[in-house]
A and B are shown apart, each in its own frame.
Chain A
Amino acid sequence: MKKIICIIPAYNEGKNIYKTVQKVKLYLENVVVIDDGSSDETAYKAKKAGAKVLIHPINRGQGAALQTGNEYALLKQADLVVHFDGDGQFLASEINDLVKPIIENNYDIVFGSRFLEKKSAIPKFKTYIIYPLARIVNRIFLQVKTTDPQNGFRAMSKEAILKIKIENNGMAHCSEILYKTHLNKLRFKEVPITVIYHHFGQKFSSGLKILKDLFVNKLNQ
């Protein structure tokens, strides 16, 4: 039996985290919420819902929280981790779809994709402008070809966690993980997932910030 830990980074998700943890708990026993320096009741509510809560003293961003979660999972001898969002935009029932290829077919990493069989109500501006541009950027600069260029729902094997250290603290971690998957020649797969949009999500300016973060991080290495 493989030990699976679900990592949920959360920043001021007091309104959603209780429900999110409870839903994930139906499918996975080990749920770890990384409270990324929230000023609301995120940590309290996550704990109440039955999650193990790690608290960042100061807000460092989603990428930083995920890396903290990955390192904690290694400490707890996890065989694989699932990255899940705290705002309830992913379906916990789809966790098994991501985990299965790693357990049954020895994939190293499995990415959720909004652009396969299942259809999500993605804002049109994102579908026709932002994501095609992001795909081009990923292909040219990161040499990665995936249907979904920016998705936070993924499963990683222990080997993948050991090889991929997330260094981009912010939202650029999605592209960074894709790039490092390619760089380390890890076996990856995309599986269809559904995303529920409560709001528009990342704007075009966020996309530009991701590009800047990737560029500055690369220069710093």
Chain B
Amino acid sequence: MWQQIIALIIIIFFLSRLIIQAKKKTINRVEFSLWLVFWILATLAILFLKQIDSFLLRLGFSSSGINFLLYLAVMMLFYFIFKLRLKFQSLDQKLTDLNRIITLNKAKEEDKK
């Protein structure tokens, strides 16, 4: 019971941060919606932990609902890191391309002189 209350307080804290960021317009609408859905799902998972337990039992898993949520969270974290790496790589390449355009344009101008 206490664990659930602590988890909910943490979620409320993150939700408030999310709303503040949205008000400051530091994140766009898509990003806001994505995280809002994520935290709502997390809240539902915490509120219906017992139901998740029995659901997992029916599926034949021996672990409890909270363990399942932890595994899920770790998997999601890995996925986000993976996506971030790809995004970072793509930005890195764009930076290189921009760097190259500037260099070649400057060289072309010098050659014209």
Interface residues in chain A, defined as those with a beta carbon under 8 Å from any beta carbon in chain B: 34, 52, 54-58, 60-61, 64, 67-68, 71-72, 75, 167, 169, 216-217, 219-220
CB closest chain-A residue, reference B100? A68
Using known A-B contacts A169-B92, A219-B86, A220-B89, determine if residue A60 contacts B99 with beta carbons closer than 8 Å.
Answer: yes
Flag if B96 contacts A216 (CB, 8 Å).
Answer: no
B76 touches A (CB below 8 Å): no
> Chain B nearest CB: distance from A219 CB in Å?
6
- C-alpha gap A61/B89 in the complex (Å): 14
Q: 0/1 per residue, B88-113, Cβ < 8 Å to A?
A: 01101101100110111011100000
- C-alpha gap A216/B106 in the complex (Å): 31
Residues of B within 8 A of A64 (CB): 96, 99-100
Residues of A within 8 A of B102 (CB): 57
For the complex with contacts A57-B102, A72-B107, 5 further pairs of A-B residues with Cβ separation under 8 Å are A52-B107, A54-B107, A68-B103, A167-B93, A220-B89
- C-alpha gap A56/B102 in the complex (Å): 8
B85 touches A (CB below 8 Å): yes
Flag if A54 contacts B104 (CB, 8 Å).
Answer: yes
Flag if A60 contacts B95 (CB, 8 Å).
Answer: yes
- C-alpha gap A56/B106 in the complex (Å): 10
- C-alpha gap A67/B96 in the complex (Å): 10
CB closest chain-A residue, reference B90? A220
22 A-B pairs in the complex with CB atoms less than 8 angstroms apart: A54-B106, A54-B107, A55-B103, A57-B99, A57-B103, A58-B95, A60-B95, A64-B96, A64-B100, A67-B100, A68-B100, A68-B103, A71-B100, A72-B107, A75-B104, A169-B93, A169-B96, A217-B89, A219-B86, A220-B86, A220-B89, A220-B90
- CB-contacts of B54-86 with A (<8 A): 85-86
Interface residues in chain B, defined as those with a beta carbon under 8 Å from any beta carbon in chain A: 85-86, 89-90, 92-93, 95-96, 99-100, 102-104, 106-108
Of the candidates A52, A71, A169, A219, which one forms a contact with B104 in the assembled complex, judged by CB atoms under 8 Å apart? A71
Using known A-B contacts A57-B99, A167-B93, determine if residue A68 contacts B86 with beta carbons closer than 8 Å.
Answer: no
Residues of A within 8 A of B103 (CB): 34, 54-57, 68
> Chain A nearest CB: distance from B110 CB in Å?
9
> Chain A nearest CB: distance from B19 CB in Å?
34
Using known A-B contacts A55-B106, A68-B104, A72-B104, determine if residue A216 contacts B86 with beta carbons closer than 8 Å.
Answer: yes
CB closest chain-B residue, reference A68? B100
Residues of B within 8 A of A61 (CB): 96
Residues of B within 8 A of A52 (CB): 107
Residues of A within 8 A of B96 (CB): 60-61, 64, 169
- C-alpha gap A52/B107 in the complex (Å): 9
Residues of A within 8 A of B104 (CB): 54, 68, 71-72, 75
- C-alpha gap A113/B46 in the complex (Å): 62
- C-alpha gap A220/B92 in the complex (Å): 12
Flag if A216 contacts B85 (CB, 8 Å).
Answer: yes
CB closest chain-A residue, reference B92? A169
Residues of B within 8 A of A57 (CB): 99, 102-103
The 4 closest A-B pairs by CB, nearest first: A64-B96, A60-B96, A68-B100, A220-B89
